[in-house]
Amino acid sequence: MSRTSKLTLGATSLFAAATILFVHFQQKAEQAAMHEGVVRDMEQQRVKRERQLDFDMQRELEAEYKRHQTVHDSTSEADAKAPAPR
């Protein structure tokens, strides 16, 4: 085999190995990025569930308080007592 053909074979082999390594590491980086995205989405869903549970609990407490207490709107009472404009 001539020197030129040996250099060509070596260069193409080196290029192929470098391409394979680059693709491998690129896939690993994309996989890690996707995993981080999944973890972030799961955390957002957890926070959303917690907020929804807090909201539901507050709504139940409000309904319970309204059952036990008589609440009047002071602005509507003041409007009813105020004389009608002329």
List, as one string, the DSSP characters of the chain. Answer: --HHHHHHHHHHHHHHHHHHHHHHHHHHHHHHHHHHHHHHHHHHHHHHHHHHHHHHHHHHHHHHHHHHS----HHHHHHHHSPPP-
What are the structure tokens assigned to 23, written together?
């693709």
What are the structure tokens assigned to 49, written together?
């569930």
The domain spans of the chain are 37-62
pTM of the entire structure?
A: 0.51
Looking at residue 1, its pLDDT comes to 86
68-80 per-position pLDDT tens digit:
887 566 776 666 6
Whether the per-residue pLDDT at 82 is higher than 70: the answer is no
